[in-house]
Amino acid sequence: MAAAEGGGARPDTAVQRAELRALLATALRPGEAWYLVDISWFKQWKKFVGFDSWDMFGVGDPSLFPGPVDNSGLFSDAETQSLKEHLIDELDYVLVPTEAWNKLVAWYGCIDGQQPIVRKVVEYGLFVKHCKVEVYLLELKLCESSDPDNVISCHFSKADTVATIEKEMRKLFNIPAEKETRLWNRYMSNTFEQLSKPDSTVQDAGLYHGQVVLIEVKNDDDTWPRQHLLAKSSTATSRNFTTSSKSSASSYSSVSATSVITNGDSSNSYGLNSSHLGRGGSGFVCNSYNCGDSASLSQPGLCGLSNLGNTCFMNSALQCLSNTPPLTDYFLEDKYEAEINQNNPLGMRGEIAEAYAELIKQIWSGRQSHVAPRMFKTQVGRFAPQFSGYQQQDSQELLAFLLDGLHEDLNRVKKKPYLELKDANGRPDSVVAKEAWENHRLRNDSIIVDIFHGLFKSTLVCPKCSKVSVTFDPFCYLTLPLPLRRDRLMEVTLVYADPQRRPVQYRVVVPMMGAISDLCESLSKISGVPAENMVVTDVYNHRFHKIFQMDEGLNHIMPKDDIFVYEVCKPSEDGSEYVTLSVYFREKTMRQSSNTSGTVLFGQPLLISVPKHKLTVDHLYVVVLEQISRYVKLPLAEEYSTPCSDKGTCNGSSGVAEGDIEEMDHQDGGQEGKEKLSEIECHTDGCMQVESTRDLQPCKKQHFTFSLVNSYGTSEINSIVEGKILKLNAFSTLAIDWDSDTRRLLFDEQEAQAFEKHSSLLQPQKKKAVVALRDCIELFTTMETLGEHDPWYCPNCKKHQQATKKFDLWSLPKILVVHLKRFSYSRYWRDKLDTVVEFPIRGLNMSEFVCDPRRGSYIYDLIAVSNHYGAMGVGHYTAYAKNKVNDKWYYFDDSSVSVASEDQIVTKAAYVLFYQRRSSEEHLAPSPPQEECDGMDTN
């Protein structure tokens, strides 16, 4: 490979050593450029100049001339020179400031055609500002709202603002400066949120790797194409969390070092930094560039954990465990060494315990602002393959594995005895509980059992023979259900059959897991329209995105969907069979470039019911014109001589969206992932292709023509046959085509979009559910009936029965771990519950929930919280924890550690809580007044 040699003379190795050593200790400053250098080349250079401390004489090795700077090992593609994923600082590359890079290139040159890998220093941190080099930029997919299929990928820093993105999009899509625009992010296939704060950073806006961002240009008439979407979204609470498909972290920096080089990618965030690059030790040694306030680095326990690629879930769990005093003291005092059980077949040969001990010692050494837990992650991945990759995982699941793994690695029982489980059989609870606990300790005896294990009482009652079965089972953490909302509010627009009546928007209460029929029943009660006469639709871009069946689940309807319910009539008494047809409005347009015609959809679609024996163009024309008569005003000379006389022909009028016309060329196929409706088909064998109809009676002039089209309204299947019965099936789609002049003259856009609001919309909405921790505990201890798929085998009946089951707490551990079950799964529904659970910071009294009559006092204080921000399967984990040395609260966000206050801790993100039981001396001492919640942030 050709090399471009440096232009200047190369100084001797001693000068090179001295100049580079000084430059590599340079403090980071926001906006400055730093460069990546392949670690292989850099290591050879260090050996050549004798840079490392072990080179006692500092003479280097002249035989190891490194040649031109070569970064080819960092590229995944030599042509595009794009970086490989998951590169790690100090393991794959080093970062050098601009002056150092310039010197290296001047002395050695660089590989011909290779572009420098330059990255900016950005400022991060909520409480304390930190500088770091952002090695991996965030990729956003940019497109225009009017053309969402034309996507351009661009990379941005997480410190860039929304205004920066808008500026780039204006340039990419040639949007004039005078045009007003607004940005939307798409975080589900049909869910959009406006990016309304131009000065908000990419990180604060919650944008993640691969996020789709759309730019919308204001129409010439000062309306927005997506105005109806905004009306919906403006009532929804804006998200106040960072959600990331690759686990974006909000800051990766030291709590004290004012400048730290850290890889700040959304999927990779590492903090291996060294002010002395050659200092001995493995790649796990981490020395920060500390430019001040270095004294605070001596505070044990205030050590961040670098994100190794979607490992924030692990970091969150580890910080909670690290701040569990009795467990950390056990490892720091080396008590674990005498108890490692390498021969336990259920353990990990002591390797998990040793890796965890090593990590805890690093965290509490007081020498490092953050460490990279690579060795620990490797060991965990060896024994639990689900945690081996770089996919987002659950912090509670890792916690469960880790506590179990540590227990088995440290189990003092070398040979577990076989024990037969015994039922209570009427014996006193205290006897059975004591027996169960002793049996548990005969097989399980470790520091984890000492600290984390408690005892459940489980009572099962057979519904047939009333057999009562009582068992006592150990537990390591308490999984508490959250009270589920049993209903939801939905906003829908009812389009009446009466063509002169404007549509009305309603807010209805429906069952959370209900069906479309429940929506219709609820709407019927406040509107008076019979539920059986309703057809529920999702309207999008002037067409029916979906027409729902009555038995479909409401979980298919997202909060931001535009739901229109049409009133249609059932067959009249004469028994005539009716067909319900979809009708779209289209405007014929001329393409200047090709001198050919096209069509664009406009207005709100119609649903009309017509007797099969009257399915002619003449009758359809009369019916449609009557339905649109409220907003299509004909000249008096052209009024119809008779209105539609068939009172059995009822159909929805043109419903109205809150937005303006969003024109889209019908030839462009699917719109933003909208599916072609499978239930809308046309039997083309009954459709004959002839010329469009002309001058039909009784009208004096035909203002529109009919075409049979697909469900998108984008391609014609056939023209409509004049004077014959049309063979159309249920929910066939017709288009009524207008020329531009007729539409402009006759179509009243303002009236077409007019709608009224029902009083149900004006009623104050209930505040978002807030529950107390005790509500969750009470729900956990409530009697329930087992499901049909989870029966209990009754020893009396000799068969499986749907018994009643009740959990009680018999004894509680020193450290009570409470897992709030925020993620709910069912056959049709996967969701995260963002309910705020109010939990006390101090003085959680669990005594009333413990059913052992000889119980002591169970008073707990909070010591740590694992948080999850974002939706299920994505999002970001952080932790709050109380430092055992100074009793202050801190916020741990991957490699960043910052001071926190008690009023920040109780939020809807709280996922796993760690409580420490007070000692008997603390019980006697006066404690602060117990509060349900010392502070909370419901955002």
**Known catalytic residues?**
312, 876
- Report the candidate in 115, 19, 9 with the shortest Cα–Cα distance to residue 72: 115
Other C-beta atoms lying within 10 Å of the C-beta of residue 558 = 12
Q: How far is CA 860 from CA 124, 316, 447, 516, 914, in A?
A: 35, 21, 20, 47, 9
> How far is Cα of residue 279 from the mean position of the Cα atoms in its chain?
41
Q: How far apart, in whole angstroms, are the C-alpha atoms of residue 605 and residue 581?
A: 10
- Report the candidate in 132, 134, 159 with the shortest Cα–Cα distance to residue 268: 134
Q: How far apart, in whole angstroms, are the C-alpha atoms of residue 707 and residue 589?
A: 16
- The position carrying tokens 């104050």 is 764
842-847: long-range contacts at Cβ-Cβ below 8 A with a sequence spacing of 24 or more?
842/927, 842/928, 842/930, 842/931, 842/934, 843/927, 843/928, 843/929, 843/930, 843/931, 844/773, 844/915, 845/930, 846/777, 846/809, 846/812, 846/816
Q: How far apart, in whole angstroms, are the C-alpha atoms of residue 621 and residue 618?
A: 5
SS3 of 664-716: the string is CEHHHCCCCCCCCCCCCCCCHHHCCCCCCCCCCCCCCCCCCEEEEECCCCCCE
Tokens representing 886 are 């100074």
Peptide bond into 176 cis (omega under 30): no
Q: How far apart, in whole angstroms, are the C-alpha atoms of residue 880 and residue 937?
A: 14
DSSP 62-93: GGG---SB--GGGEEETTTTEEPTT--BTTTE
Instruction: List all residues 6 or more positions away from 132 whose beta carbon is below 8 Å from its beta carbon.
Output: 28, 121, 122, 124, 252, 253, 259, 260, 261, 262, 264
Instruction: List all residues 6 or more positions away from 344 whose beta carbon is below 8 Å from its beta carbon.
Output: 408, 409, 411, 414
- Return left, alpha or beta for 657; rule: phi > 0 is left, psi -120 to 50 is alpha, else beta: beta
Helices (H) and strands (E) in the chain, counts: 18, 46
Round the CA-based radius of gyration of the chain to a whole number and report it: 35
Classify residue 483 by its DSSP letter: P
- Classify burial at 463, counting beta carbons within 10 Å of its beta carbon; exposed 0-12, middle 13-18, buried 19 or more: middle
Tokens representing 808 are 């009680």
Tally of CA atoms within 13 A in the half-sphere of 810 that contains its CB: 24
Angle at 77 between CA 76 and CA 78, to 5 degrees: 120
Classify residue 632 by its DSSP letter: B
Angle at 535 between CA 533 and CA 539, to 5 degrees: 150
Q: How far apart, in whole angstroms, are the C-alpha atoms of residue 321 and residue 864?
A: 8
Q: How far apart, in whole angstroms, are the C-alpha atoms of residue 804 and residue 796?
A: 15
Q: How far apart, in whole angstroms, are the C-alpha atoms of residue 98 and residue 478?
A: 53
Q: How far apart, in whole angstroms, are the C-alpha atoms of residue 821 and residue 832?
A: 9
Other C-beta atoms lying within 10 Å of the C-beta of residue 641 = 8
350-372 burial, b at 16+ Cβ within 10 Å, e below that, comes to bbbbbbbbbbbebbbeeebbbbb
